[in-house]
A = this chain, B = another copy of it.
Amino acid sequence: MTTKSERTQQRIIDAANQLFYRKGYNRTSFTDVVDEAEVPRGNIYYYFKTKEEMLQAVIKHRLETTKVMLADWDKSIKTPLDRLERFVQIMYDSTPALLRSGCPMGSLNVELGKDQPELKSDAKQLFDMFQLWLAKQFAQMGYPEEARELSLELLARGQGIIVIAQVYQDPGFLERGTKEINRWLENLDRYA
């Protein structure tokens, strides 16, 4: 069973998670989080002494969620190609959010990568988790040598498409982009 305290903490993390995504980390204030989570002002400091700690908790939460998702895909999807295409699928499914706020993982890394190296190295873990999983799929598909490079290339394609789709508010570009990625993946699979 979850205690009331645990639920409060989770509400704070959820609120921070959303706000960090929608407004960015640096533009999100404690007041924002407190309002969104509906906890009294002072109470938040009982759970997180600093904003950095809050970010770390948010990243940890995202990592756990992602881990569960990927494990689920490993279990329920049979071929590496289908698994990779499932990855591309969430991009397409998230179109509205991506057009509004960009990639949650990419934009966080871009923001923190500028001059907050400690925070950035936390955020990088999100990329690492996907990258390693993607590489595993490419390896299983028959590209053990090129697995890392292919995974980076897939990530780069996704990031680029999302940035441009957001800049131009163009869902069509996102759709064509994901379709093109799928064609690429299918060709890789065919000629493995």
**A interface vs B, CB < 8 Å?**
22-24, 26-27, 101-102, 106-107, 109-111, 113-115, 124, 127, 149, 152, 155-161, 163-164, 166-168, 170, 173, 176-177
Contacts and interface: CB of A to CB of B under 8 A. Distances in A.
Contact of A115 (B22, B127, B177): B22
A156 B162 CA distance: 8
Contact of A26 (B27, B102, B167): B27
Given A111-B111, A157-B160, A124 B24 contact: no
Nearest to A126: B167
Contacts of A152: 164, 168, 170, 173
A149 B175 CA distance: 13
7 contacts: A27-B115, A101-B115, A102-B114, A106-B110, A106-B163, A124-B167, A152-B173
Tell me if A's interface is mostly helix, strand, loop or mixed.
helix
Identical copies in the complex: 2
Contacts of A159: 159-160, 163-164
A166 B163 CA distance: 15
B156 A164 contact: yes
Contacts of A167: 109, 113, 124, 127
Contacts of A110: 102, 106-107, 110-111, 163, 166
B124 A101 contact: no
B156 A22 contact: no
Contact of A164 (B155, B170, B177): B155
